[in-house]
Amino acid sequence: MTTGKEKGTSGRGQRELRVRVKTAKGRKLSSTLWLERQLNDPYVQRAKREGYRGRAAYKILELDDKYGFLRPGARVVDLGCAPGGWCQVAVARVNALGDNPKKPVGRVLGVDLQEVEPIAGAEIHQLDFLSDEADEKVKGWLGGRADVVMSDMAAAASGHKGTDHLRIIALVEAALAFAFDVLEDDGTFVAKVLAGGAENEMQALLKRNFRKVANVKPPASRSDSSEKFVVAMGFRGRQHQGGEDELSGD
């Protein structure tokens, strides 16, 4: 395991090894700092070693390690799946490739506005999940309802904390409305939110419709990031919620 300390030294002789990036001509300081952070991020380095498409893969790994919703045989929908790290994790966890013949084979369906490079064991579709009939298309592709709907989507940052919070809550609400339409009873909804968790109304909505709701920050989420994740388990079924009207306030 990488310790961040130079091998072959001990005690006061130890010093942290850190890559420093010089600011190139024409490159903004913010870009240089981002590049330096990426080069020194242990999760970025680990993702490269282990073949994941990004460090975000470890967020869903850690969430699933804690809550165990990606079970063999599960049908999973990943909203906004690019670049594909969450799909990669789901494929292995639900046994989508059938690597373990003693366990049921799951399904992983990824959707995104942009084209995504193929992922072994996952079915990827270029689709706007907000479009009409998107839920019916997904259920058709899956051959039924989903056991898990998950989303690592984030709205483009404006630089204004309050605005960004409202934007991402709106995105989570849209993902939740989609989940209400496609989730199987007892299913799980996982989505990125900002610090403080979901807004009060949404938190109440989640608690009415799921048996267990947690707002957590996995270790892979950077400490200076305001993101957290809501994990809602045990979907009670559509008979326990007001459908689109409850989410829209109409």
**Which is higher by pLDDT, 26 or 6?**
26
pLDDT tens digits, 77-128: 999 999 999 999 999 999 999 999 999 999 999 999 999 999 999 999 999 9
Answer whether 178's CB lies under 8 Å from 139's CB.
Answer: no
pLDDT tens digits, 23-47: 445 555 444 444 445 455 677 788 7
Confirm whether residue 140 is marked as ligand binding.
Answer: no
**Which is higher by pLDDT, 138 or 228?**
138
Question: Residue 209 pLDDT more than 60?
Answer: yes
211 and 98 part of one domain: yes
pLDDT tens digits, 177-195: 999 999 999 999 999 987 6
Domain containing residue 128: CATH number: 3.40.50.150
| 185 in a structural domain | yes
| 208 in a structural domain | yes
Quick one: pLDDT at residue 12? 29
Q: Which residues contact 29 (CB under 8 A, 6 or more apart)?
A: 23
Structurally, the chain folds into a number of domains equal to 2
Q: Which two tokens stand for residue 242?
A: 């007001």
Confidence (pTM): 0.78
Confirm whether residue 68 is marked as ligand binding.
Answer: no
85 and 176 part of one domain: yes
39 and 97 part of one domain: no
192 and 131 part of one domain: yes
Confirm whether residue 245 is marked as ligand binding.
Answer: no
- Interatomic CA distance for residues 54 and 43, integer angstroms: 8
- Interatomic CA distance for residues 177 and 76, integer angstroms: 16
Confirm whether residue 135 is marked as ligand binding.
Answer: no
Active site residue 103: no
- Interatomic CA distance for residues 91 and 70, integer angstroms: 9
DSSP conformational letter for 138: H
Answer whether 233's CB lies under 8 Å from 202's CB.
Answer: no
Confirm whether residue 86 is marked as ligand binding.
Answer: yes
46 and 71 part of one domain: no
127 and 192 part of one domain: yes
| 14 in a structural domain | no
- Interatomic CA distance for residues 105 and 74, integer angstroms: 8
| Domain termination site, one of 52, 72, 98 | 52
Quick one: pLDDT at residue 198? 59
- With CA atoms as reference, report the closest residue to 82 among 59, 46, 58, 56: 56
pLDDT tens digits, 120-178: 999 999 999 999 999 999 999 999 999 999 999 977 777 777 777 778 888 899 999 99
- Interatomic CA distance for residues 113 and 136, integer angstroms: 17
Q: Among 48, 139, 192, 217, which one carries the catalytic annotation?
A: 192
Provide the CA 139 distance to its chain's centre, in angstroms. Answer: 20
Answer whether 231's CB lies under 8 Å from 69's CB.
Answer: yes
> Containing domain of residue 37, as a range?
23-52
Residue 146 host element (H or E): strand 146-151
Quick one: pLDDT at residue 155? 73
